[in-house]
A and B are shown apart, each in its own frame.
Chain A
Amino acid sequence: MVSLLTKVLSAEYVKLWEYPIDKIYKDMKSEEQNVILDSITEGVFTVDLEWRITSFNRAAEEITGILRQQAIGQQCKNILRANVCETACALRSTIETGTPIINKPVHIIDIAGRQKAISISTALLRDEEGKVIGGVETFRDVSLIEELRKEIDHNYTYEDIISRNHRMQNLFDIMPNIAESSATVLIVGESGTGKELFAKAIHNLGPRSNKPFIAVNSAALPDTLLESELFGYKAGAFTDARKDKPGRFALAEGGTIFLDEIGDITSALQARLLRVLQERTYEPLGSVSSVKADVRVIAATNKDLGKLVTEGNFRQDLYYRINVVKLELPPLRDKKEDIPLLTDHIISRFNLLHNKNIGGVTEEVLSILLMYDFPGNVRELENIIEHCFVLCQGEIIEACHLPSNLHAQPAIGYSAGSKTAALRETEKVLITQALQRNNGNRAATARDLGVHKSTLFRKIKSLGIKA
C-alpha cells in the first residue's frame, strides 16, 4: 500500500491518466482513495456514463469553489462550468473515442464568478472486465501563470476592457465590424486610455488573429533607428550592418502593425510611411528592390493630428491615409461611472498577482476616486490600486492606503454617518460634470450617462443642480 501511495503521489499530474486508476479503485478502500486524491494538488473528478460526478477531490473543491458533497451526483458541466462543456466537452470526446486529452487549456467561472484559466486532462475509467464505466478529468489552476504572462508580455486582451459607459459600449458594438475589415485604423485617446488594448482587440477579433501583432512605439526611438526598425536593412547598408535584418513590417507580415505615438514621427518618416500605405510596398535600407507588405496598419496618438496638420507638422495626405476609421477613446474623467467597475476588476487581478484577498474599497475611498481627475487615466487608477495593495494588510482598502496626493483630495460630502448624502453628492458631481461636457445640453447629457431624459431632469431638480 505504501509503495502504491508513493507511486501515485510522486506521479506528475499529467501522467495520472496513464496510471490505471480503475486498478487503484479495485485494490483500495474508498477512504484510502480519497486520501490519495485529496493529497494531489490538481483537481480530480470522475464521472459515470451519464456525466454525473462520482468522486471529487479537495483541489477540485478549491478550484471550482464547490464542495464535494454538493458536486457528487451532479452533471459535471454544472460543476466545472467551463467554456468547452457545452460545445467541445473533453470528457465526452475521450469517452466516445477512447483517446485521452492532455493539457487542454480552458476557462471556467468559479462559484464566486471569477474567471480562471485551467489546464485539463482526461482519461477513460474501466471496470475489471475492461468495460468503460466513465471518465476521469484532472485539472490545475493556471490563472496565476496566465496573469503573470500577461503582466510580463503586456498582453492584455479585449476582455480586460470593461466599461458601462455608453461611448465605450458604442465602440464595443462596432469593434467586430472594424476587425473584419482591413481598413487602416486611427485610435485617438489620452495616455493610459487603452489604445494598445483596442489595437490588439481589433487584431484578435479579425481574420489576421493567427498572424503576428507587432507594436512599435514611434516616440521611443530616434528617427534613423526607427526607419531601420520599421523597414529593416540589408547587409552592408551601413557600418556594422553585417547581415540582413527584417524590419517590423516584415515581422508583421500577414498580421497587424501597431504604430503608437504616430504624431511624433518626423516628416521624412511620414513620407516613407505614406508610401507603404499607398502602394503597400517598402524598401529596406540598402535594398534596391521593393518588398510587398501585406500588413494591416493601426496607428494611435494622444495628439490632435488635425491640429498638427494645420500647423504643418503632420502631412495632410498621410493624415487622410491613416484616418480611415477613427476610434476616439474617452478619458477616465469622462466616464467616471466606470471607476467602481474598474476598481473591482483591478483588485481581482492584483489579488491573484499579489496573493492577497482584498474584497474592495470603502465608500470613502470610492468617493475620493470619483472626485479625482485621473490625468493618467486607467493606468493611473491601476497604479493607485497597486499602491494601496502594498500598504493594505487587511481585506478592505481604506483612505489611509491611498497615495499622498489623493489624501488632499476631498471625498464628496463623505462622513461615516451620511452614506446617503455621499451618494447624492456623487450623483450631483457626475451629473454636473456630464452637463459641462455636453455644454449644458440635457438630451446629450442623458445619452452620455445612459439614462432617460426624464430621469435626468428629475435628478437635476431633486439634487438642486443649476444647469
Chain B
Amino acid sequence: MKIAISIWNGVVSNVFDFADQLLVVDVEDKVEVGRSEFELGQQVIQQRSSLLTKLNVDVLICGGISQSLASMLVASNIEVIPFVTGPVDEVLNAYFSNHLAEPQFLQPGSQVGARKRFCRQRQRRCRHKHRGSRSRNEIT
C-alpha cells in the first residue's frame, strides 16, 4: 500500500493543488517500509493526478484540495483524505491508528463530516464506474 502526503517544511502542505513536495510512504501491515519524495513544483492538476496514478498511490493525505483534482483522483480509485494539518510523522501515526479525525489534525473551518462529505460527493459522481472495484490492489 502506498500513502502520499503533500508536504511543506515537515508539515502537511496547506493545499495539494499548490504543494511543492510529495512524500510517498510504502506501508505493509500498517508499518512503514520505505519512503520517497517527489518534486511537484509548478505541476498543474492533471500532472499531479497522473503522477499519483503512475506511482500507484492508494491514499492521498492532504490539506485543502480543489474539487476538480479530488474528482480526478477519486475517479482513479485513489482515496482522498483532505483538510489534514500537522507534522507529517504525527499525521502518519494518526492515520495508522485511525486518529486522523482528532481536532488537531483537522484544518481550521473543516469538520470530520465535511471531510467525509467532500469525498463522498466526489465519489458519488463516479461510482457508476467503480462499484465493485474499490480495491486499489486490483488496479496495478
Q: Are A109 and B65 in contact, CB atoms less than 8 angstroms apart?
A: yes
Q: Are A162 and B47 in contact, CB atoms less than 8 angstroms apart?
A: no
Q: Are B64 and A158 in contact, CB atoms less than 8 angstroms apart?
A: no
| A293 at the B interface (CB under 8 A) | no
Q: Are A87 and B20 in contact, CB atoms less than 8 angstroms apart?
A: yes
Tell me which residues across on chain A come within 8 A of B57, comparing CB atoms.
none
| A366 at the B interface (CB under 8 A) | yes
| B95 at the A interface (CB under 8 A) | no
| A221 at the B interface (CB under 8 A) | no
Total contacting residues, chain A, CB less than 8 A: 59
Of the candidates B109, B110, B126, the one whose C-beta lies within 8 Å of that of A341 is: B126
> Please, what's the 1-or-0 string for B11-24, where 1 marks a CB less than 8 Å from any CB in chain A?
00111011110000
| A450 at the B interface (CB under 8 A) | yes
| A169 at the B interface (CB under 8 A) | yes
User: Bound state CA distance, A22 and B90, in angstroms?
Assistant: 39
CB distance from A449 to the nearest CB of B (A): 8
CB distance from B60 to the nearest CB of A (A): 14
Tell me which residues across on chain A come within 8 A of B66, comparing CB atoms.
109, 113-115
Within 8 A of B (CB), among A426-467: 426-427, 430, 450-452, 454-455, 458-459, 462
| Interface 9-residue window, one of A60-68, A118-126, A277-285, A390-398 | A60-68
Of the candidates A79, A109, A455, the one whose C-beta lies within 8 Å of that of B108 is: A79
| A386 at the B interface (CB under 8 A) | no
Closest to B17 in A: A109
Tell me which residues across on chain A come within 8 A of B67, comparing CB atoms.
112-114, 344, 348
Within 8 A of B (CB), among A343-398: 343-345, 348, 360, 366, 370
> Please, what's the 1-or-0 string for B92-115, where 1 marks a CB less than 8 Å from any CB in chain A?
000000000000000111100010
Closest to B114 in A: A111
Q: Are B15 and A426 in contact, CB atoms less than 8 angstroms apart?
A: no
Q: Are B65 and A173 in contact, CB atoms less than 8 angstroms apart?
A: no
Q: Are A86 and B20 in contact, CB atoms less than 8 angstroms apart?
A: yes
Tell me which residues across on chain B come within 8 A of A247, comparing CB atoms.
none
CB distance from B81 to the nearest CB of A (A): 14
Q: Are A86 and B14 in contact, CB atoms less than 8 angstroms apart?
A: yes
Q: Are B138 and A109 in contact, CB atoms less than 8 angstroms apart?
A: no
Q: Are B133 and A341 in contact, CB atoms less than 8 angstroms apart?
A: no
Assess A169 versus B109: contact at CB under 8 Å? Given A81-B15, A115-B17, A162-B68: no
Of the candidates B72, B109, B128, the one whose C-beta lies within 8 Å of that of A71 is: B109
Assess A426 versus B107: contact at CB under 8 Å? Given A159-B44, A454-B138: no
CB distance from A228 to the nearest CB of B (A): 37
Q: Are A70 and B15 in contact, CB atoms less than 8 angstroms apart?
A: no
| A423 at the B interface (CB under 8 A) | yes
User: Bound state CA distance, A158 and B45, in angstroms?
Assistant: 9
Tell me which residues across on chain B come within 8 A of A111, comparing CB atoms.
64, 109-110, 114
Assess A158 versus B44: contact at CB under 8 Å? Given A111-B109, A344-B67: yes
Tell me which residues across on chain A come within 8 A of B20, comparing CB atoms.
86-87
Tell me which residues across on chain B come within 8 A of A79, comparing CB atoms.
108-109
User: Bound state CA distance, A107 and B66, in angstroms?
Assistant: 11
B residues near A (Cβ < 8 Å) are 8-9, 13-15, 17-20, 44-47, 49-50, 53-54, 63-68, 70-72, 75-76, 82, 85, 107-110, 114, 118, 125-129, 131-133, 138-140
A residues near B (Cβ < 8 Å) are 64-67, 70-71, 74, 77-79, 81-83, 85-87, 107-109, 111-115, 158-159, 161-164, 169, 172-173, 175-176, 205, 337, 340-341, 343-345, 348, 360, 366, 370, 422-423, 426-427, 430, 450-452, 454-455, 458-459, 462
10 shortest interchain CB distances as A-B pairs? A66-B109, A164-B75, A113-B67, A172-B46, A83-B18, A340-B125, A426-B128, A74-B108, A109-B64, A81-B64
- The contact sample of 27 A-B pairs, CB cut-off 8 A, is A64-B109, A70-B109, A71-B108, A71-B109, A78-B14, A78-B85, A78-B107, A79-B108, A109-B15, A109-B66, A111-B109, A163-B46, A164-B75, A173-B50, A173-B54, A176-B47, A205-B44, A340-B129, A343-B125, A344-B68, A344-B125, A345-B71, A426-B129, A427-B129, A427-B131, A455-B132, A462-B132
Q: A113-B65, A344-B71 are in contact. List 20 more A-B contacts (CB 8 A).
A: A78-B85, A78-B107, A79-B108, A86-B13, A109-B64, A109-B66, A111-B64, A115-B68, A159-B45, A162-B46, A162-B68, A162-B71, A163-B46, A169-B46, A169-B49, A341-B75, A344-B68, A423-B128, A451-B133, A458-B132
